[in-house]
Structure 1
Amino acid sequence: MKLTKKRYLIGFTVVVVVLSVVRAEFPQLAEARTSTSSPASISSSSAGAIAPADSLAEPKPISYQTKKHKIFSVPSFKACFPDTQSVQLAAAMKWGVKRVKNREDAEKRKSELVYVGANPYYHIDKLYSSIPYLVPRAAVLLQDVGQAFFDSLYVKGIALHRPIVTSVLRTEADVTKLRRHNGNATENSCHLYGTTFDICYNRYETVQDPDGPERRAVRNDSLKYVLCEVLRDMREQGRCYIKYEVKQGCFHMTVR
């Protein structure tokens, strides 16, 4: 007998109807088939199912241990920061602005300079013989110094302190006035070009938590050692020249 499409469909329909009747009359056969399925078929068909609670192992807590970095400072302040006035002046004349005559002239030159009077990473001291402006290149250097100082204090487990900047851009009038009582102030100062700033090494500003108890100030010597490490790295990276000033109690820095 030839199997036609019509006969195939009739036969398929009859088989489906018979199986439906058997399933309705004997439901336990279907349950038995499901319960005896192999473990492999169960795992593959229920890959997205959630495992029973008693089969889950309790996760072990992750332990994070932070090891505080030691303070090493530098072998010698003078040896690590020896850059003289002539070396720094050459860099100042290369990267700086035309010498600023007075405060009025400085007001006209702000398109060439960046205001550095407010920054979270350092504190500008009360200025008597300079104004808080630098060329952009030097402003970035100063902020990077302050930020690296913060980072170093944090990894060493020391309360945060801000370095204090004591001198920034000086006008020719400022230098003339300063030389009357400061023998180290030169007529052709690097500060005239907006490339140079001084960071005090014997005073720091403690960063207080407004919502917490008052933080105890750290010894200035400890903070000086940390600052020296930061400045040494900046100098070794070729970003600046630094002179360790004994009488002024500061690091005299010029961008390069």
Structure 2
Amino acid sequence: MKEVITSHDTLPSPASQSAKALRFVGDQVRESYTPIRRLPPHFHSLIGSPNRRFSYRLVRELRAQNLLDAVDADSQDDPLAVMNIEPTMDGWQVYESGQNGELKQGYGFVALKFGDEVLDSFLTQHVKPGLNEQGLRIIDLRDVSRAGVIDNIMREQIRDADFVLADLSHDNPGAYWEAGYAEGLGKPVVYICEKSKFDQYKTHFDTNHCTTVMWESDKPDEFLRELVATIKRSFG
């Protein structure tokens, strides 16, 4: 398992994959309240696993933790495969906690306007690596793009995040919505804004009284110091 983890750095962590596996099973069973006969052939891609074998090992681990109920499929083609899969009562409790945003997957989600050269450069060259050095991994929707309804993927990423970083420099409606969704789930939200924009126009009145960390593209170190301190304070 260690070899898989170290050679697929862009994949979700095994813990995150396990959470996605439990969520997938819960979502499917909740539709009909009958166990899943067999997992779909592309199950591993749905939860971000590198291959089918690894995803089956995660499902078996969830069974060992008494979060899933399943029986061995006794398949020669897939010896690790299981069938008749459904959450246990403990599994349903963990599933509901995940639906309510109570589970955390060890990252921060960035809500922002896409396609702005200055912001994109500032984010990729300074903010992401700078926070990563402090043990604070952040992602935006482009980092997790995959097949599926983009709104559902976005909700899932916010729901699993430890905190949300919302850039309001462009008054982007999506960034405001995503921040509000995170606030509704009880997630810490840290607002940031380009300094000259904030000085001249402020942000929406619903957020202009909230702590907002200003950034200037030519002063990344100063911004990062204040941002890191603000994020750490937000965790109490």
TM-score bucket of the superposed structures, by smaller chain:
under 0.3
More helix by share: 2
Q: Which has the higher contact order (CA 8 A, sep 6+)?
A: 1
